[in-house]
Structure 1
Amino acid sequence: MCMQLFFGATAGKETVPRPWSELHSSLSDSFNVSQETIVITNSYGEKIVGILHEAGSKDIVVLCHGFRSSKESRTMLSLTDALTSENISVFRFDFTGNGESEGTFEYGNYYKEVDDLRDVILHFKKHKRDTSGIAGHSKGGNVVILYASIHLDVANVINMSGRFDLRRGIVDRFGSDYMERINQYGFIDVGEKTGRSIYRVTKESLMDRLKIDMKGACMSIGPNCRVLTVHGSDDDTVPSEDALEFDKYISNHELCIIEGADHRFTSYHLELANIVLKFIKHE
């Protein structure tokens, strides 16, 4: 288990982290990183929208966002900056039903997002570019683990704040009577305080989540696939104990708990970036 890495000037006993831009020269000064919007039609006929950051490497790392998030999340952007600063090309995209991509948002949908990721990787393979790594945050962490349990074409997998036990977290979001309500009405509408509905959870989509066997998926990942799990010790969305479960069942696995970090690694993006870089570069 690796502990938090501190960067910055020490004032007494306090460590003051410095932003990435102060540790590395700006990307525009050091080399050219071009950005191109790529639209990929998935196997369901929906358009997936992503941004390719060309940083010099032929192989790319694909970044996967979390639940009801997008390619524009701070976690995705900070990792993009970190990887491209080391000449590693990156593709970050929106799963269908999220961000700029087509499709309707649905709760669950884990294997549909695995299919989206598959279509992204196959798109680049057609253009003679391999995916050297896939990194997912939160739900995206589950997606990259599930992907690696099915497909054998990615050698490096990074699970950031993924949930091992998918039965947990549902009561916090929907209430303890969620199953009674969904059996009575067939769905649960999740809304804002104003009463506006944000999304609908159907019984089918809830069952889609509950039937996923993360333990089985972890044990299905081949020994040649390197997997890194990074989790914050202060994650109050997905407990850090889940990270320990991934470590039990993935054969070729590295575990890193960042002391003090929350679910989104707020104020710890630099630490996260350095851990991911070390893993990707096999340092």
Structure 2
Amino acid sequence: MKIHNKHGEVIDHAFHPTERDDVLVVVAHGVTGDMDRPLIVELTNRLVAAGWPCLRISFSGCGASEGSYADMCINKEVDDLHAVLDQVKGSKKVAYIGHSMGGAVGALAAAKDDRLSVLVSLAGMVDTKAFCETEFGDQVPDEGYMWEDESLPLSQTYVDDLHNIGNTLTAARDIRSPWLMLHGDKDDVVLPKDSENLFLTLRGKKKHVVIEGADHCFEGFYDPLAAEVGTWLKAHL
């Protein structure tokens, strides 16, 4: 199966089937990532072993997906996610797990699309403007790079998108899908207060879990992370 976004770009993905065909768990990465990042792979493997069919995706411009990294931004990734959902056949219930900026993608997508039955944010970005200013404020868009990596150009498109969004709290306020937020207390990329603020804003079923000792990518904490996610999926999907 090929998945194309509205620009005709192919979205790279990997489907991991199980005996269940009534649900699907979409697992997505953050900025600079792709579907082969260790966190995405390790979490997916654990969920599949527990019986959850999963779909790992790389947003356009990332990994082996088509498109330019310079065009990458949250709103384009929201469109990518809608394209993925359009390919889900039948009456499957869909859960979405987003890491970092992928968490912001989930918030904005769910605000527009009720096909996302369950949400999980892993170190989910909420204050997009503050993130951009803190991490890239010393770089000139279309000239500089993300974290001084020349393979990761910082585009004006990306900067404008994060500033225009500002934060995801307004979009999240009316979302009623059960939402699990996980954050490491050692995260210095997306600060733990992002998840705290999101939790206080949400009005539906919600849970906020702080994993002590974990950083932004949860390395070394995949087992407790997967256990929390699996419990949430079992309760709500």
The verdict on a shared fold, with TM-score over 0.5 as the criterion, is yes
Output the CA distance in 2 between the equivalents of 1:109 and 1:270: 30
What is the 5 A alignment of 1:41-190?
41-58=4-21, 59-106=23-70, 109-125=73-89, 128=90, 130-176=92-138, 178=139, 181-182=140-141, 187-190=142-145
What SS does structure 2 have at the residue aligned with 1:39? coil
Output the CA distance in 1 between the equivalents of 2:120 and 2:42: 15
What is the 5 A alignment of 1:219-234?
219-221=173-175, 223=176, 225-234=177-186
For residues 77-113 of structure 1, the C-alpha deviation after alignment (integer angstroms, 9 at most, x for no partner) is 1111111112111100111100111000136611110
Which entry has the higher C-alpha Rg, 1 or 2? 1
Partner amino acid, structure 2, of 1:251: R
Q: Is the 8 A contact 1:234 1:262 kept in 2?
A: yes
More strand by share: 1
Partner amino acid, structure 1, of 2:191: P
1:245 Cα deviation from its structure 2 partner: 0.4
Deviation beyond 4 Å, 4+ runs, structure 1: none
**Percent of residue pairs bearing the same amino acid type:** 27
1:202 Cα deviation from its structure 2 partner: 3.4
Output the CA distance in 2 between the equivalents of 1:122 and 1:103: 19
How many residues end up aligned between the 2 structures?
233
Output the CA distance in 1 between the equivalents of 2:75 and 2:134: 23
What SS does structure 2 have at the residue aligned with 1:156? strand
1:217 corresponding residue in structure 2? 171
Q: Which runs of 5+ in 1 are unaligned?
A: 1-37
Q: What is the alpha-carbon root mean square deviation over aligned residues?
A: 2.0
What is the 5 A alignment of 1:14-53?
38-53=1-16
Partner amino acid, structure 1, of 2:152: Y
For residues 115-151 of structure 1, the C-alpha deviation after alignment (integer angstroms, 9 at most, x for no partner) is 11111111122xx262420100011111111111111
What SS does structure 2 have at the residue aligned with 1:277? helix
Partner amino acid, structure 1, of 2:124: G
Structure 1 residues 215 and 281: alpha-carbon distance in aligned structure 2, compared to 1, 3 A threshold? same
Output the CA distance in 2 between the equivalents of 1:191 and 1:251: 35
Q: Which runs of 5+ in 2 are unaligned?
A: none
